[in-house]
Structure 1
Amino acid sequence: MRRLLLTAAVTAAAALTMTACGTTEPAADDAAKKKSGERITLTDANGAKVELDGPAEKVVGTEWNVVENLISLGVDPVGVADVKGYKTWDTAVALKNEPKDIGTRGEPSMDTIASLSPDLIVATTDLPPAAVKQLREVAPVLEVRSADASDPIGRMTENLDLIAQATGTTEKADELKEQFEAKLAEGRKALADAGLAGAGYAFADGYVVSNQVSIRPYTSGSLIGAVNEKIGLKNAWKIEGDKDYGLASTDVEGLTELGDVQFAYIGSEGDKNSTPFAGALAKDKVWTSLPFVKKGDVHRLPDGIWMFGGPESMGQYVDAVVEALAK
């Protein structure tokens, strides 16, 4: 499940900082490089050397953020973990082909992946080392660090760059990064024009398990939190997030510390347990007494914005925030 996997992810040990070498040629040279058979050598997030005969074309993605990056770069993956889940939770970058479903993000099917004969498997450090070891017996594996609360946006763009180097799409990566920076500037201006520069803002998601509501704050160390600050909002969460995803945990009582803020969340109609703010909490006395609930400053952002995605998901998020707050 999405929730369980991400909960496990935030407790994973931090991966080594990724570096890349021998791959700084401009994208214009990519086709020639492939024809000449020039090898690509990369160092991934765990320090493993990854060697390719040329830009990878038949690529498998074991996590949704790398799948999004691949498609954004113009590479349609031949295999994707939990295709149905991706289509539900990541609408910013739709699948353009009919990739093979390789199983869950936590337990991909080795047999299915092997049957695809991929040039490259792109995984994240959330995947258990034992699974990565098995994947390396099938094809070269490029691991990217899933998240880094010390520099969430930097991690997102470095992952994009590394995947671009492996697939010969560095020019497209530069274009995506420029578009993302422009989107941040556009969002910041729109909020400032609406008198919302520096406004207190809290983003969370929540879910119901065994009739109990759990709320997950996205602190300044989260990717969403970092984007919020880039567009001029002040993160209202006082709670500390984990070292990777910048996520925390609280309950409805913990929301009383937020004060008078703008509150936003994302759920999914395809996952009824993911929308407690409009469901299980609707008649909760603590929830209904909160200042932002009384004032109508609770905003459900559109479904399908993947909170852990790449530049295009984050651009979609910026548009949604501006639409919700500055309308």
Structure 2
Amino acid sequence: MRSTRTFLGLAAAATFFVAACGTTEEPTSSTPAAGGAGPITVVDSRGKEVKLPRPAKRVAATEWNGVEHLVSLGVMPVGVSDIKGYGQWVSAAPLDATPKDIGTRGEPSLDTLGSLGPDLVIVTDSVTEGALQQIEAKVPVIVLNGGNAKDPIAGMYANLDTIAKATGTEAKAAQLKSEFEQKLTTGKAEAEKLGAGGQKVAFSDAYVASGSVSIRPYTKGALVSAVFGRLGLETAWPMEGDATYGLAQADVEGLTQLPDVRFWYIANNADGDPYQQQLAGNAIWKNLPFVKSGKVHRFPDSLWMFGGPKSMEQFVDAALAALKG
């Protein structure tokens, strides 16, 4: 069973990258992209200028937020890490049959990546600087911030805009943002009609480690929580999350801090549901006020919590459905 903690981890890729990129051979030339657009310069999350001779067409991505952005912008990536997992978790921007699997997000295969002849690779800031230097010796690399707990939606937009500029799809990015903002506006109006304005929500996921259930609260700084906030809902979690993703840690005893609030969570049949399985007979869980009052709601599978505007639109729909339920 895949631990949900691995969803954010790319740091383990460093050792693999160093081993796989330890060649001094000159990179092969790639086929020029269609359209004849001129050179562009993109400033990534490092503040580094990444120069491209033309908008990138053959793009590979190691993390699923980058993959979703690409697909949403109309650029089907040539390489994607863990295609099977992406299909299980990201339904908002499905892949077609053309991308090649480049391995796990933690350990992508540099041999496979190189065989695809990409003109750009997109990673997150979890990859170490030394590994990036190895990759950049072969192909331009854009580094995205994994998240931004200070302003999660702005951070999502920044990543989308960076990829859009690199791929010459700025108009599509503007459309995606406009559609998402409209979704939030209509969603908030619907939530208010339901009398949900100002209601508190505790959103989380959970995983099993060493036989114990670990709960991961999505606090105020989480992207999903920011979306709920735009609908007029408040987070019920009393603790602060990390500075990147707005995630915290708790156990079932920690849930006793919550009053009788709406308790929403995400799970996936591919990985199991600790709330319905491991905690089903737990005395503490069964006596929590929101469990006893029937306010626990599982969101649909395949909604990516760290994705782009299309995934976040799905969370708007899921939240409204939960408010009606």
TM-score in terms of structure 1 length: 0.89
**Structure 2 partner of 1:163:** 163
Map 1:109-124 onto structure 2 (within 5 A).
109-124=109-124
Task: Name the SS of the counterpart of 1:192 in structure 2.
Answer: helix
**Structure 2 partner of 1:315:** 313
Per-residue deviation, residues 121-145 of structure 1 (Å, max 9, x unmatched): 1111122333322221221101111
Kept in 2: contact 1:34–1:55 (CA 8 A): no
Q: Cα RMSD (Å) of the superposition?
A: 1.6
Task: Name the SS of the counterpart of 2:41 in structure 1.
Answer: strand
Task: Name the SS of the counterpart of 2:105 in structure 1.
Answer: coil
One of 288, 291, 309 as aligned partner of 1:290: 288
Structure 1 stretches lacking a partner, 5+ long: 11-32
**Structure 2 partner of 1:3:** 4
Could you tell me which amino acid in structure 2 is paired with residue 299 of structure 1?
H
- Which whole-Å CA distance do the structure 2 matches of 1:196 and 1:4 have between them? 31
Kept in 2: contact 1:207–1:215 (CA 8 A): yes
Q: CA deviation at 1:170?
A: 0.3
Per-residue deviation, residues 147-182 of structure 1 (Å, max 9, x unmatched): 111111000001000100000000000000011101
Q: CA deviation at 1:224?
A: 0.8
**Structure 2 partner of 1:305:** 303
Kept in 2: contact 1:299–1:324 (CA 8 A): yes
Could you tell me which amino acid in structure 2 is paired with residue 69 of structure 1?
H
Per-residue deviation, residues 160-210 of structure 1 (Å, max 9, x unmatched): 001000000000000000111011112111111111111110000001112
- Which whole-Å CA distance do the structure 2 matches of 1:89 and 1:36 have between them? 36
Q: CA deviation at 1:89?
A: 0.7
Shift of the 210–36 alpha-carbon distance from structure 1 to 2, 3 Å rule, reads: closer
Kept in 2: contact 1:150–1:221 (CA 8 A): yes
Structure 2 stretches lacking a partner, 5+ long: 12-32
- Which whole-Å CA distance do the structure 1 matches of 2:59 and 2:9 have between them? 25
How high is the sequence identity, in percent, across the aligned residues? 49
**Structure 2 partner of 1:79:** 79
Task: Name the SS of the counterpart of 1:183 in structure 2.
Answer: helix
Task: Name the SS of the counterpart of 2:315 in structure 1.
Answer: helix
Q: CA deviation at 1:36?
A: 4.5
Q: CA deviation at 1:251?
A: 0.4
Map 1:17-56 onto structure 2 (within 5 A).
35-56=35-56
**Structure 1 partner of 2:60:** 60
- Which whole-Å CA distance do the structure 2 matches of 1:306 and 1:257 have between them? 27
- Which whole-Å CA distance do the structure 2 matches of 1:92 and 1:34 have between them? 27
- Which whole-Å CA distance do the structure 2 matches of 1:304 and 1:34 have between them? 34
Could you tell me which amino acid in structure 2 is paired with residue 177 of structure 1?
K
Q: How many residues align?
A: 303
Per-residue deviation, residues 197-251 of structure 1 (Å, max 9, x unmatched): 1111000000111210000000010101111111110100001100111000000
- Which whole-Å CA distance do the structure 2 matches of 1:239 and 1:206 have between them? 16
Shift of the 99–312 alpha-carbon distance from structure 1 to 2, 3 Å rule, reads: same
Shift of the 103–9 alpha-carbon distance from structure 1 to 2, 3 Å rule, reads: closer
Q: CA deviation at 1:41?
A: 0.8
Could you tell me which amino acid in structure 2 is paired with residue 109 of structure 1?
S
Shift of the 100–123 alpha-carbon distance from structure 1 to 2, 3 Å rule, reads: same
Kept in 2: contact 1:191–1:326 (CA 8 A): no
- Which whole-Å CA distance do the structure 2 matches of 1:64 and 1:2 have between them? 16
**Structure 2 partner of 1:179:** 179
Per-residue deviation, residues 237-277 of structure 1 (Å, max 9, x unmatched): 001100111000000111111101001111111112xx111
Kept in 2: contact 1:70–1:76 (CA 8 A): yes
Kept in 2: contact 1:261–1:292 (CA 8 A): yes
Could you tell me which amino acid in structure 1 is paired with residue 184 of structure 2?
L
Kept in 1: contact 2:3–2:208 (CA 8 A): no
Kept in 2: contact 1:76–1:97 (CA 8 A): no
Kept in 1: contact 2:80–2:101 (CA 8 A): yes
- Which whole-Å CA distance do the structure 1 matches of 2:35 and 2:215 have between them? 52
Q: CA deviation at 1:35?
A: 4.3
**Structure 1 partner of 2:259:** 259
